């Protein structure tokens, strides 16, 4: 992929997703994670919804999808959300989402600047979802988004974010990519290891950096996942990716919600197939009287 020598700038992302990419299957062309897990793509896709969306998406709630592309995950989000807000850098992607979800009530769509969320949403969103998109976005923009996510989330709201995970010590070496294919290959080898045959145009982000940026933005890390499901059958192992689940601290205990460290102690529960959602669990944990 010639893009492995490019930076992960807003301009490069706009050019790639708004002009160059053909969107032959409207996002379902990205079957690589399912292939890496050795499972059929529809099964893998269903596991993403069951493990990463449903437990955090309270029915009827306000969900913001950051960078939906042509709406690969928006179908599932739409069936759970009351108010649905879509934000993408690419005018072509937002146009396609408007066409695909035409007639849906309480749908708001925005073309953004690649780093900010719409104004006027402060403390209104229950869940921010972003998958297969911020993996390509540079740390500076991700940091800005994390501040923005903190701004729009309600206290106790969640963010489920798929991001890159290069080896932390190699992050300062990212400029090597721009020197040409040989240097890009060396950088991939150092930052991802020999098992990776492609770079996937991942940005210079590690789990450690993502956690640091989230904490700086006032968000707490609930979980960081590479695999899930029975026997860790599913996941995002390709390019060593991770999905981090973040929470904005509830303002207080008075509304019966759990504080982040309390949620953390129960964080493995949503892994269990068929387990109640976090919202069911919070209700059960309400203090009697």
Ligand X SMILES: C[S@@+](CC[C@H](N)C(=O)[O-])C[C@H]1O[C@@H](n2cnc3c(N)ncnc32)[C@H](O)[C@@H]1O
Q: Work out whether 69 is an interface residue with ligand X (CB under 6 A).
A: yes
Note whether 200 binds ligand X by CB under 6 A.
no
Number of residues that bind ligand X (CB under 6 A): 21
Q: Strand 125-130 relative to strand 153-163: parallel, antiparallel, unpaired?
A: parallel
Task: Note whether 260 binds ligand X by CB under 6 A.
Answer: no
> What string of DSSP letters covers 144-211?
HHHHHHHHHEEEEEEEEEEE----GGGGGGGGGGGG-HHHHHHHHHHHH-TT-S--TT--S--HHHHH
Q: How far is the CB of 253 from ligand X (least distance, A)?
A: 35
In angstroms, rounded to a whole number, what is the distance separating the alpha carbons of residues 155 and 13? 31
- Strand ranges of the sheet holding 242-248, from the earlier edge strand across to the other edge: 107-111, 84-88, 63-66, 125-130, 153-163, 242-248, 219-225
State yes or no: residue 67 binds ligand X (CB under 6 A): yes
Residue 88 touching ligand X (CB under 6 A): yes
One residue of 3, 5, 17, 217 binding ligand X per CB under 6 A: 17
Q: Which is nearer to ligand X, 11 or 179 (CB)?
A: 11
Q: Which is nearer to ligand X, 240 or 282 (CB)?
A: 240
To ligand X, the closest distance from the beta carbon of 112 in angstroms equals 6
Q: Assess 239 for contact with ligand X (CB under 6 A).
A: no
Binding of residue 223 to ligand X (CB under 6 A): no
C-beta separation of 42 from 86 below 8 A: no
Helix (H, G, I), strand (E, B) or coil at 38: coil
**E-only strand ranges, the chain:** 63-66, 84-88, 107-111, 125-130, 153-163, 219-225, 227-228, 234-235, 242-248
Handedness of CA 34, 136, 124, 148 (dihedral sign): positive
Residue least distant from ligand X (Cβ) = 69
61 lies in the site for ligand X, by CB under 6 A: no
Strands 219-225 and 242-248, sheet pairing:
antiparallel
With binding defined as CB under 6 A, does residue 4 bind ligand X?
no
- Partner residues linked to 227 by β-bridges: 235
Tell me the per-residue interface mask from 118 to 157 with ligand X, x by CB under 6 A, - otherwise.
-------------xxx--xx---x----------------
109 binds ligand X (CB under 6 A): no
* Nearest CB to ligand X, comparing residues 93 and 219: 93
Using the rule CB under 6 A, give the single segment among 46-54, 89-97, 151-159, 238-246 that binds ligand X: 89-97
List the one residue from 27, 139, 229, 270 that touches ligand X (CB under 6 A): 27
Interface residues toward ligand X, by CB under 6 A: 10, 13, 17, 27, 67-69, 72-73, 88-90, 93, 112, 114, 131-133, 136-137, 141
């Amino acid at each position: 992929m010639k893009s492995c020598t490019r930076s992960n700038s807003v301009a490069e992302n706009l050019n790639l997703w708004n002009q160059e990419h053909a969107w032959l299957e409207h996002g379902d062309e990205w079957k690589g994670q399912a292939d890496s897990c050795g499972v059929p793509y529809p099964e893998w896709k269903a596991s993403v919804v069951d493990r990463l969306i449903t437990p955090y998406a309270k029915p009827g709630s306000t969900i913001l999808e950051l960078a939906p592309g042509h709406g690969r995950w928006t179908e599932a989000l739409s069936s759970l959300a009351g108010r649905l807000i879509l934000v993408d850098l690419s005018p072509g992607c937002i146009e396609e989402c408007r066409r695909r979800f035409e007639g849906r009530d309480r749908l708001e769509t925005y073309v953004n600047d690649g780093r900010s969320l719409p104004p006027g949403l402060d403390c209104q969103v229950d869940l921010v979802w972003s998958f297969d998109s911020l993996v390509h976005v540079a740390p500076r923009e991700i940091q800005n988004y994390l501040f923005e996510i903190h701004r729009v989330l309600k206290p106790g709201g969640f963010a489920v974010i798929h991001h890159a995970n290069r080896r932390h010590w190699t992050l300062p070496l990212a400029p090597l990519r721009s020197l040409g294919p040989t240097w890009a290959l060396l950088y991939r080898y150092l930052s991802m290891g020999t098992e990776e045959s492609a770079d996937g145009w991942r940005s210079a982000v590690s789990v450690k950096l993502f956690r640091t940026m989230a904490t700086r933005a006032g968000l707490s890390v609930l979980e960081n996942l590479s695999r899930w499901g029975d026997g860790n059958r599913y996941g995002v192992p390709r390019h060593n990716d991770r999905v981090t689940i973040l929470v904005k601290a509830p303002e207080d205990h008075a509304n019966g919600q759990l504080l982040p460290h309390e949620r953390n102690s129960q964080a493995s529960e949503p892994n269990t197939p068929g387990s109640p959602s976090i919202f069911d669990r919070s209700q059960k944990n309400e203090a009697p009287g």
